[in-house]
Structure 1
Amino acid sequence: MSITRSTSRHKPASRKSSFSSSPTRTSRCRRRLARWYPSTILSIWTSRPLAASAAHGRIVSTVKSSLRKIAATLASLTWRDFSGSARARVAELLLDVFACAAEGRRADPYPDFIPGSDGDASLWFADTTRDPSHAALVNGTLAHHAELDDGNPRASLHGGVTIIPAALAVAETTGATGEALLAAIASGYSAAVACGRPLKNGIETHRLHAPSMVGCFGAAAAAARLFDADEDIMTGALALAGTLMPLGPFESFTRGASVKDLYGGYPAYIGVQAALLSRSGVHGPDELFESKRDGVGAFLGHAATPAFELDLDEVMHVELKPWSACRSVHATLTALEKLLPITVPITSVHVETYAFAAELSRDADA
């Protein structure tokens, strides 16, 4: 890789630049840089082959990362690639999130919460439009308010409030067909779980709220598809989603802070922004999941141990909530319902659950 550097702004034109690619000077430069940014520089100054991307003129590895492999598939999918069962399930998920949003709009918890500029994307159940990013933010937030939106325990994903608002907002803006919209939604669910499963354990270990984080990947994938993203732009959108995803502390959940509602809408906003930024040439790190020190796996303190797997039937793993509550208490509520009617006095109730749910309950009671 050759590097040229202009020196006319700093030195007389007659003077030669002190920059040289001689082995001695290069080695010295490497040592200095490695002291400043060890993991990043050492990964660059190795024998890894590099190539320039024609799409944005950036430098990327010619060895495909996990993220890029997923992106290549996501960019090429069509609605016909999904099974009949998956296609029918997407329609059910659309109806479900609309019902959640209708309840959120009825409660109207944030009457003045309509940020953003004018655009072509609708705010659901309101005679107002906004730009796609902010429409996704508002719609996802309202749909999450009632705690009834869908869930996928494989990656702790709430795709209905993170992926669907982003997809619909971009589809309205671009004039996408119905099939393109549905394919984008199905792709978003698959992408979110493929990227979210390797992070799930690390997220929970750090007491963070997984849906607010992994939903960014699905929203970015869905939005990028509706912007007709190729492999490069899809990779960039996913990488940006993983770089910009919010930290969702569980304290907002256990303490009843109203910001918890934004754990639905904000990932949708990030996803649309990630797709837009990638289209404009901004790019995140392709090898986000490869490094134990640099990627999101290292950020969470866990390597990305589960294999990346893009399941085109991922929507079939989605659960619809019967109760307006966190999934962790649904088994208990279902068991209680089956005991009804209770005709004898209750002296005590003993509940057994998994450790993470018990810890959350203790925090809420503290």
Structure 2
Amino acid sequence: MKAIINGKIITKNDVLYEKVLLFNEKIIDIINKSEFEILKKSENVEIIDAKDLYVSPGFIDVHIHGSGGYDAMDGTVEALETISKVITQNGVTGFLPTTMTMSKEKIYSALDVMKQCMNLQLHGAKVLGAHVEGPFINKKYKGAQKEDYIKKPEYSFIEPYKNVVKIITLAPEEDENFDFISKVKQNTNIVMSIGHSDASYEQAVDSVEKGISHATHLFNAMTPLRHREPGIVGAAFNSDIYCELIADTIHVHPAVFNIILKEKGKEKIILITDSMRAGCLRDGVSELGGQKVIVKNNSARLEDGTLAGSILTLNRAVKNFMENTDLKIYEAVNMASLNPAKSIGIDKERGSIEKGKYADITLFDNDFNVKNTIVEGRNVFKA
């Protein structure tokens, strides 16, 4: 048994002081110090002294392309292993490696490796499944995705991987009669997310009624909110779908954080990184989906200036969101832990510090600098 002492334990509804967190692979209990003093006399306990750090549920990144010089589309175990290890230094304990709009062969190769890694014990964060971003998107809002491989939504394309894919981003206006959305909803548990889309407000609302339950990096690569054309953003605000947000203060102005908070509420916002392979590296030249990317001044852009994912880390996203709103720390942390877990249906196992859930834990200081990360009870990162 392991015990974390002298920490400020972040639960989904509070911050607990003067408590001890007990765990093995899963969380055993949260007990009083006095109870622990008695327990350790009879039990063999490995003690971790948090030294007044926050003890938080590990973060879950449901939209990340890469980090540490590797990309999910590299299609190798080495790539996912490296990403898995690197992101633990940002408090991430679980993630959905995210594909790009590339050839079917490249996407399948990447998904095969993701499937393999779901069943491996990597040395870092756990691969929880895959997020397929494209190729079923709109050319007008392709962003940093490659136009050559964009195609109409096709159920047979994703059917072989329906037990691997957790989220698929698509442009519903490209889905004739919403056939794809209907088939996915009827035959799988895949979350469908509207993104890289030119849908009108009406089309977006219709797609939500048919099965869309998520919006990919809200505001970015989609029709905006205008007073006569409310667009996808308007439809997201007028529905109860989950909304991803890249809270790097570059993709979205920090003043918008409060707007989305008022419109969506704290339980429907999911903080993501959308990080590409240059994440956690220095400025320089990188690559995304076969395209040259310039990394400079905390942003990643194609040569024409188009934003190409981000180099954001999830601990910074939580910090940025909290600093620009009135949220309490546990409410901000939920946006990177419990909310993403709920959105993909794994909140009974992960996403918060609760008895019986996996011991996915991260320890950080008052400035959100991560000092220790634990995945399923194993210590995978220590600063």
What's the TM-score once normalised by structure 1's chain length? 0.24
What's the TM-score once normalised by structure 2's chain length? 0.24
Find the structure with the greater CA-based Rg: 1
